[in-house]
Homo-oligomer: A and B are copies of this chain.
Amino acid sequence: MIVLATRNQGKIAELRDILAEAGLTRPLVGLEDYPEIGEIPETGLTFTENALIKAHAVAKATGLPAIADDSGLCVDALNGMPGVFSARWSGVHGDDKANLDLLLAQIGDVPDEHRAAHFACAAALALPDGTERVAEGRLEGRVIRAPRGTGGFGYDPILVPDGDTRTTAELTPEEKNAISHRGRAFRALAPQIATLLT
């Protein structure tokens, strides 16, 4: 069994799909089965630092291999922010709508040609003995002016990937996983998970 270090149901669903497609057949459980594990402070200054902090904390607490990710939206006009602050951009952790509305208001005056952005993800595996592996993935695009679509979570309704006209919230889960930052990071990590856990 592998523990996914998140209580975000949207993320758990995505990771199950991505890892199953990558051939990982071990059962996966989310943190909802471990109510005794409290909030893990994301004090890192990079996605990789935070992913490793979470994976190690959960591997240690559960005695099981743990997978974590940290991801976010990096907006060029905001020097790469919200970045590691994506989930708490509005000051309230996990309020997707408040975070997204704030971001749109902040860059309201930024013209279309300066609205490039990318989703970034660091995916980490940690074992109870301290072994760790990490991989990164990106999805380049641009931030539009009003949310569109109901799929995904977080900033999905406002990012249009390069070469597409739909937001990532307007893609099917399969389409999104095929190109997403999280898909790319976990597909890069999956062979390392398989090697370590066989």
Instruction: Name A's B-contacting residues (CB within 8 A).
Output: 41-43, 45, 77-81, 83, 85, 88-92, 101-102, 104-111, 114
Contacts and interface: CB of A to CB of B under 8 A. Distances in A.
Contacts of A83: 79
Nearest to A76: B45
17 contacts: A45-B114, A78-B81, A78-B85, A79-B80, A79-B81, A79-B83, A81-B81, A85-B106, A85-B107, A88-B106, A89-B106, A90-B105, A91-B101, A91-B104, A91-B105, A91-B108, A92-B105
A162 B118 CA distance: 35
B77 A45 contact: yes
Nearest to A42: B109
The A contact surface, by secondary structure, is loop
Contact of A90 (B79, B102, B109): B102
> What are the nearest 4 A-B pairs in CB distance?
A91-B105, A79-B79, A81-B81, A79-B80
A87 B41 CA distance: 29
A108 B107 CA distance: 22
Nearest to A92: B105
A134 to B, nearest CB: 21
B79 A109 contact: no
A186 to B, nearest CB: 25
A161 B102 CA distance: 29
